[in-house]
Amino acid sequence: MHQSIKAPETVVSLLDILFYPDPLLRKIAAPVANVDGRVADLVDNMLDTMYHAPGIGLAATQINVHERIVVIDVSEESDSPITLINPEIKALDGEGEMQEGCLSIPGIFETIKRPSQVQVAAIDREGNPFELEADGLLAVCIQHELDHLDGKLFVDYLSPLKRNRIRKKMIKAAKERDEEEFDDDE
């Protein structure tokens, strides 16, 4: 998901974000076997990448790491990060519509219907299990990011016509990025 957020003052390491229609975005993420220093470092780098992008959520799948890890921060001040490792939706309730965007589909925003409340169980950055109940933007963001772990994108909720139009737009943008990089190398 995407919204305007200021980047933090210090940036540890920025990771490359995959762009739709990259087939790697469709790969289903595997559970994290052990929450250790490697996972904690990955979470920190994912948060830096998300804040810098700027965004409010990032799934490991989006950075070509196919493990069940999500970072989210929907706070106005970008100071309340949530880490969900091996998240599982326990309950969904209600229905709502919200405009969604995605760091893997920059510049595209569409209104998507989703449950308005979610209960999720996960493991935090330190390896502690916890449960979280959320509604509104946080509930939508959690569902959006967990979809990534299952190889699903918000454009999958759109009509085939809209999805194809977005796909063509993203392919054209990728070609333009590649041409700019080629021109910069000369």
Query: Which residues are tagged catalytic?
Result: 145
Distance in angstroms between the alpha carbons of the first and the last residue of the chain: 35
Q: Which two tokens stand for residue 14?
A: 């920025």
Interior/surface letters 5-15, b for 16+ CB within 10 angstroms, e for the rest: beeeeeeeeeb
Helices (H), the chain: 37-52, 136-149, 160-185
Taking phi over 0 as left and psi of -120 to 50 as alpha, with beta for the rest, 151 belongs to: left
Q: Cβ of 31: how many Cβ atoms within 10 Å? A: 12
Backbone angles phi, psi at 123, to 5 degrees: -115, 140
Distances (CA, A) of 3 to 46, 148, 182: 16, 18, 30
- As a residue count, the chain comes to 186
Backbone angles phi, psi at 129, to 5 degrees: -70, 145
